[in-house]
């Protein structure tokens, strides 16, 4: 008898598995790698919405918890995944500079916005109105972390690298059975794959396809992430990840030429040096119409739960959301009302 079956091993599933192991729970994870948004993500833990100079949802609460969580994972796996990364917001006008100064004086934002203008000293970047500096931002190497965690589970025989078949679930009085394996609970952390889940596809997940290109630009020599109309994120060895796009109509994970052209067109508004495109990736973010997570038990099948809907803020949200669900399932602790799937209880569930 297992305590849990976890379906999906992006940031959400990984965080939940780690909490299960912390608490000595018996589990296995299923992952068919059909969803790629966690792996290709820019990996920024950024406390601000830089388009409007506002605080990201629960950022002041989520960032300390996520930093501690990933720090513990680094010690466990004996590798470094999280690093400090300064983020510079490129200004388009004097008016934007003034808006930044006003925002930096607000109580909630003071600790995250440097009130001083950062002069552009990189002659390979076009930034005539200079930058504003975001404080306490970090970058998580999501691909390396998920690869290492997958290896870790595989070595402990806790991973099933196969597609999960919903029709193979059999409900019993106090547990569920899946292909002969019994478990007290199943947690679905499938990202946009939730749309195909017959138990939770009633939830209003919209999805947003995002595409990135990776470039090599030896002359750029920039150590900060630059936020203009898109992000330019340093990866080391003269490589930079640039993006991402937002497409609410195409839900494939196939990179597209129009998105690539859009990214490069916006990049060339900022970048003044030569570059080479060395990669182009795509994934579908699990976005929800109200831009809040989906956490909770199925209204009818109480042994089934969902952990999803982190959008583009999975690095910050995943550890907190996983803890919310675990505490709810184990101790009946209430899930935050703005993240609980109970907010959609008026939707008819088959």
Task: Give the DSSP letter string of 106-121.
Answer: STTTTTTB--S-B---
Q: What is the mean pLDDT of the chain?
A: 95
- Which tokens go with 162? 């196969």
Give the SS3 label for residue 82: strand
User: For position 336, which CATH number holds?
Assistant: 3.50.50.60
Q: Which phi-psi region, left, alpha or beta, contains residue 43 (left: φ > 0; alpha: ψ -120 to 50)?
A: left
CA angle 140, 141, 143 (to 5 degrees): 135
Instruction: Give this prediction's pTM.
Output: 0.94
User: DSSP assignment, residue 34?
Assistant: -
Residue 346 has what pLDDT?
84
Per DSSP, the three-state class of 275 is coil
Specify the pLDDT at position 322: 98
Query: Greater confidence, 14 or 42?
Result: 14
Query: What is residue 40's predicted lDDT score, i.e. its pLDDT?
Result: 80
Residues 153 and 281 occupy one common structural domain:
no
Residue 68 lies in a domain: no
Q: What tens digit of pLDDT does each residue of 143-185 get?
A: 999 999 999 999 999 999 999 999 999 999 899 999 999 999 9
- Give the torsion through C-alpha atoms of 285, 287, 292, 298, to 10 deg: -100
Q: Which residues pair with 82 in a beta bridge?
A: 140
- Domain stops at, among 285, 313, 331: 285
Q: Let me know if residue 335 belongs to a domain.
A: yes
Specify the pLDDT at position 147.
95
| Co-location of 101 and 6 in the same domain | no
> Which whole number is the average pLDDT over 252-269?
96
Q: Which of 243, 254, 258 is nearest to 283 (CA)?
A: 254
**pLDDT tens digits, 70-84:** 999 999 999 999 999
Is 349 a residue whose pLDDT tops 70?
no
List, for residues 93-147, the tens digit of each pLDDT value. 999 999 999 999 999 999 999 999 999 999 999 999 999 999 999 999 999 999 9
- Domain stop point among 236, 253, 285: 285
Q: How confident is the model at residue 36 (pLDDT cuts 50, 70, 90)?
A: low
Mean pLDDT of 54-78: 96
**CA 139 and chain centroid, separation:** 11
Residue 259 and residue 127 in one domain: yes
Is 69 contained in some domain?
A: no
pLDDT band of residue 42 (cuts 50, 70, 90) is confident
In a domain, 350, yes or no: no
338 SS3 class:
coil
Q: Which residues contact 212 (CB under 8 A, 6 or more apart)?
A: 40, 42, 241, 242, 243, 244, 263, 280, 281, 282
Report if residue 63 sits inside a domain.
no
Q: Is residue 267 part of a domain?
A: yes
Do 220 and 201 lie in one domain? The reply is no
Q: What percent of the chain has pLDDT over 70?
A: 99
Considering the domain boundaries, does residue 200 fall inside one? Answer: yes
Q: Where are the alpha helices (DSSP H) in the chain?
A: 11-22, 37-40, 59-77, 94-103, 142-155, 257-267, 314-331
Assess if residue 224 is contained within a domain: yes
Residues 233 and 221 in one domain: yes
Torsion of CA 113, 119, 123, 127, to 10 degrees: 60
CB atoms within 10 A of CB 115: 14
Q: Is the pLDDT of residue 314 over 90?
A: yes
Same domain as 211, residue 114: yes
Residues 211 and 277 in one domain: yes
* Confidence band of 348 (pLDDT split at 50, 70, 90): low
Q: What is the mean pLDDT of residues 260-272?
A: 97
Q: Is 156 exposed, middle or buried (0-12, 13-18, 19+ CB in 10 A)?
A: exposed
Is the pLDDT at 190 greater than 80, yes or no? Answer: yes
Co-location of 339 and 256 in the same domain = no
User: Hey, how many other C-beta atoms are within 10 angstroms of the C-beta on 177?
Assistant: 13
Give the CATH number, domain containing residue 248: 3.30.9.10
* The pLDDT value given to residue 15: 98
- pLDDT exceeds 80 at position 335: yes
Query: For residue 34, what pLDDT is reported?
Result: 72
pLDDT at 350: 55
Residues 96 and 213 in one domain: yes
Cα–Cα distance, 333 to 223 (Å, whole number) = 42
Nearest one of 90, 50, 13 to 310, comparing CA atoms:
13
Determine the Cα–Cα distance for residues 271 and 268; give it in Å rounded to an integer.
5
For 208-228, give the DSSP string. Answer: EEEEEEEEE-TTT---SEEES
Q: Which of 250, 268, 285 is the last residue of a domain?
A: 285
Asked whether the beta carbons of 183 and 1 are under 8 A apart, the reply is: yes
Percent of the chain predicted with pLDDT > 90 = 93
Is the domain of 33 the same as that of 82? Answer: no
The predicted model gives 282-289 an average pLDDT of: 93
Per the structure, the complete domain to which residue 31 belongs is given by 2-41+143-205+289-344
What is the tally of structural domains in the chain? Answer: 2
User: Quick one: 149 and 264 in the same domain?
Assistant: no
The predicted pLDDT at position 38 comes to 78
Do the Cβ atoms of 288 and 314 come closer than 8 Å? Answer: no
Domain identity same for 195 and 309:
yes
């Amino acid at each position: 008898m297992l305590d849990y079956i976890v379906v999906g091993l992006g940031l959400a599933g990984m965080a939940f598995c780690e909490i299960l192991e912390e608490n000595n729970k018996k589990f296995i994870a299923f992952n068919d790698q059909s969803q790629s948004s966690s792996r290709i993500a820019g990996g920024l833990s950024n406390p601000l919405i830089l388009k409007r100079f506002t605080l990201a949802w629960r950022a002041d609460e989520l960032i300390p918890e996520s930093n501690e969580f990933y720090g513990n994972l680094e010690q466990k796996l004996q590798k470094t995944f999280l690093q400090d990364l300064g983020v510079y917001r490129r200004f388009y006008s004097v008016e934007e500079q003034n808006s930044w100064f006003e925002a930096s004086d607000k109580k909630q934002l003071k600790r995250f916005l440097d009130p001083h203008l950062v002069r552009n000293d990189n002659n390979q970047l076009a930034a005539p109105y200079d930058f504003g500096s975001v404080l306490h931002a970090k970058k998580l190497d999501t691909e390396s972390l998920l690869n290492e965690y997958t290896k870790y589970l595989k070595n402990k025989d806790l991973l099933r690298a196969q597609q999960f078949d919903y029709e193979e679930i059999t409900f019993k009085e106090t547990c569920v059975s899946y292909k002969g394996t019994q478990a007290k609970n199943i947690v679905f952390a499938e990202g946009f794959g939730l749309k195909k889940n017959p138990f939770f596809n009633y939830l209003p997940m919209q999805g947003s396809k995002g595409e990135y290109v990776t470039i090599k630009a030896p002359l750029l020599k920039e150590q900060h992430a630059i936020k203009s109309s898109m992000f330019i994120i340093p990866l080391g060895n003269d490589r930079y990840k640039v993006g991402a796009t937002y497409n609410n109509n195409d839900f494939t994970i196939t990179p597209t030429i129009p998105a690539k052209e859009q990214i490069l067109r916006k990049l060339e508004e900022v970048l003044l040096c030569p570059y080479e495109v060395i990669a182009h990736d795509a994934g579908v973010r699990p976005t929800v119409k109200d831009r809040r997570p989906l956490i909770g038990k199925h209204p009818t099948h109480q042994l089934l739960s969902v952990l999803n809907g982190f959008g583009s803020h999975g690095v910050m949200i995943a550890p907190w959301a996983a803890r919310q669900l675990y505490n709810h399932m184990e101790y009946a602790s209430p899930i935050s009302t703005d993240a609980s799937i109970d907010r959609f209880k008026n939707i008819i569930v088959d």
